[in-house]
């Protein structure tokens, strides 16, 4: 984590969070800096499984568009650091939905989600040929 916050002697607080699909996900806090770490699971994996590198590249590419995504901080494939490839991104405050049906949300809330709707419209306007996305299979 020193690569992310060099010269910062404060303690890192790490909290594993649920969700994250099948890639372990952690909140990391150092002082006022709040980050998210996503990593591959431990153990042997199929070559294309748990493609953390692809996830990082796609999110980085999307950040150059109008679609709101967290700022990507760093990707690391050195397995000597935490035993698997991982990436770090800024933590964005907001509500986390673990189920796409949005249980517990009033129907009016489901219809009035402005950011996802604006994001969907922006995605639909794009032709999918962004130079940043060409190499992000």
CA-CA distance, 63 to 109, in Å (whole number)? 26
> What is the phi-psi region of residue 19: left when phi exceeds 0, alpha when psi lies from -120 to 50, beta otherwise?
left
What is the residue extent of each domain of the chain?
A: 12-134
Among 18-32, 76-90, 98-112, 114-128, the range with the most confident prediction by mean pLDDT is 76-90
CA-CA distance, 58 to 98, in Å (whole number)? 21
Question: Which segment of 33-37, 68-72, 91-95 scores lowest on mean pLDDT?
Answer: 91-95
Buried b (16+ CB within 10 A) or exposed e, 37-70: bbbbeeeeeeeeebbbbebbbbbbbbeebeeebe
CA-CA distance, 118 to 75, in Å (whole number)? 28
The whole-number average pLDDT for the span 107-119 is: 55
pTM over 0.75: no
Per-residue pLDDT at 56 exceeds 90? yes
Residue 87 near residue 76, CB atoms below 8 Å: yes
Q: What confidence category does residue 6 fall into, taking pLDDT thresholds of 50, 70 and 90?
A: low
pLDDT above 90 coverage of the chain, percent: 23
Domain 12-134 bears CATH identifier 3.40.190.10: no
> What is the phi-psi region of residue 38: left when phi exceeds 0, alpha when psi lies from -120 to 50, beta otherwise?
beta
């Amino acid at each position: 984590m020193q690569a992310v916050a060099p010269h910062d002697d404060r303690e890192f607080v790490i909290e594993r969070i649920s969700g994250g699909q099948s890639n372990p996900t952690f909140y990391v806090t150092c002082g006022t800096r709040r980050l998210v770490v996503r990593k591959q699971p431990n153990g042997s994996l199929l070559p294309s499984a748990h493609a953390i590198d692809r996830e990082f590249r796609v999110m980085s590419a999307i950040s150059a568009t109008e679609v709101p995504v967290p700022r990507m901080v760093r990707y690391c494939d050195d397995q000597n650091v935490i035993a698997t490839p991982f990436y770090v991104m800024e933590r964005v405050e907001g509500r986390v939905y673990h189920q796409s049906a949005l249980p517990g949300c009033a129907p009016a809330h489901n219809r009035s989600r402005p950011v996802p709707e604006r994001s969907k419209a922006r995605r639909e306007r794009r032709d999918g040929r962004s130079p940043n996305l060409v190499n992000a299979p």
